[in-house]
Amino acid sequence: MNVALYTHSSCLEHDPGPGHPESPARLRAVLDALDDPGFAALARIEAPRAIREQLARVHRAGLIDEIFDNVPQHGWHRLDADTVMSPASAEAALRATGAVCAAIDDAIAGQCRRAFCAVRPPGHHATPTTAMGFCLFNNVAVGAAQALAVHGLARVAIVDFDVHHGNGTQDIFWNDPRVLYVSSHQSPLYPGSGARDETGAGNIVNVPLPPGAGSCEFRDAYQRIVLPALDSFAPELVMISAGFDAHRLDPLANLNLDADDYAWITEHLVELAERHAQGRIVSSLEGGYNLNALRESVASHVAALLG
């Protein structure tokens, strides 16, 4: 099994309400794209639930309890202006984090070399104490902690090309030199973090891009800053916070990437993982809010993972 797709039907049931950009239609678009015969080689795996022990490696008990204690019986419960729970949201969040942990376990065991987790809600804004920015639990951070705690890895790299800075992932690993967190993102933009001088214990690399930046600026930043930092770190596992909202058609931001840019960076990360990480990559869906752009971008990303 070379590349695996981890998902669960519960992730379609999380419903933040009418008009919310983080809608179930996003995941339906992703799964429709990956139903194409060109992706027949993908192994399809049902995501398990994460367990509390896995969540507690990166999230405080108060946040975990807040999520489970506030699941509405019907309608919605609003955690903040953007982050909304429906009756199925906690189950979806457990399957989303469980997908990433299972993909980590399988990659390290040699069951698969690379994985894409088609899950929602997204995760990279969730901090140790706060659900925010559409995110309940930090899926990629929980997975990275699984790699460190269970499998004893010494170096895990997280590459975040979502258009919004992953403030939660940065907060969680701020003082942990075992994790290199690298983020390219539009600035200024929500959540307002991600300046170049935010470096943690020397393990945080932020590459803010101005509104209107496109392929040239994105690729230049990765060639000059990101890829050399990753090579120097020599990760044993590469993780990707795969947000596709830097696409030129996305309604929530103002960068001008296209699907070819996602293929380009994924190909480079595959090459890097081959050099340092026995080919191991685990990618998890974050943002992307124009459905046509999301379909095309995910298809390009996963095709590059398949090689």
Cα–Cα dist 105/175, whole Å: 24
Question: Binning pLDDT at 50, 70 and 90, where does residue 133 land?
Answer: very high
Helices then strands, counting H and E runs in the chain, come out as 10, 10
Could you tell me which of 43, 202, 177 has the C-alpha nearest to residue 107? 43
Backbone angles phi, psi at 127, to 5 degrees: -95, 180
Stretch 280-294: mean pLDDT: 98
Please give the domain boundaries of the chain with CATH numbers for all domains.
3-306 (3.40.800.20)
Stretch 259-275: mean pLDDT: 98
Backbone angles phi, psi at 92, to 5 degrees: -60, -40
Is it the case that residue 153 has pLDDT exceeding 70? Answer: yes
Is it the case that residue 105 has pLDDT exceeding 70? Answer: yes
Cα–Cα dist 3/19, whole Å: 34
Cα–Cα dist 38/126, whole Å: 34
CB 260 within 8 A of CB 218: no
Which among 14, 59, 125, 165 is annotated as catalytic? Answer: 125
Tell me what pLDDT residue 14 has.
98
When the pLDDT of each residue in the chain is averaged and rounded to a whole number, the result is 98
Q: Which amino acid is at 181?
A: Y
Q: Which amino acid is at 208?
A: P
CB 288 within 8 A of CB 294: yes
Assess whether 185 carries a catalytic annotation.
no
CB 93 within 8 A of CB 14: yes
Contacts of 289 (CB under 8 A, 6+ apart): 21, 22, 26, 245, 250, 251, 252
Pair of tokens at residue 298: 């995910």
Is it the case that residue 229 has pLDDT exceeding 90? Answer: yes
Pair of tokens at residue 119: 């899950």
- Give the tens place of pLDDT for each residue, 248-265: 999 999 999 999 999 999
Instruction: Kindly calculate the radius of gyration of the chain based on its CA atoms and give it in whole angstroms.
Output: 17
Is the previous residue joined to 188 through a cis bond, with omega within 30 degrees of 0?
Answer: yes
Tell me what pLDDT residue 165 has.
99
Q: How much of the chain exceeds pLDDT 70, in percent? A: 100
Tell me what pLDDT residue 195 has.
98
Kindly report the number of other CB atoms within 10 A of residue 76's CB atom.
16
CB 124 within 8 A of CB 243: yes
Order the strands of the 204-209 sheet from edge to edge: 43-46, 3-7, 114-117, 281-285, 237-242, 156-160, 179-186, 204-209
0.95 surpassed by pTM: yes
Is it the case that residue 41 has pLDDT exceeding 80? Answer: yes
CB 93 within 8 A of CB 100: no
Cα–Cα dist 138/136, whole Å: 7
Tell me what pLDDT residue 1 has.
64
Is it the case that residue 161 has pLDDT exceeding 80? Answer: yes
Stretch 195-213: mean pLDDT: 98
Residue 284, class by beta-carbon neighbours within 10 Å (0-12 exposed, 13-18 middle, 19+ buried)? buried
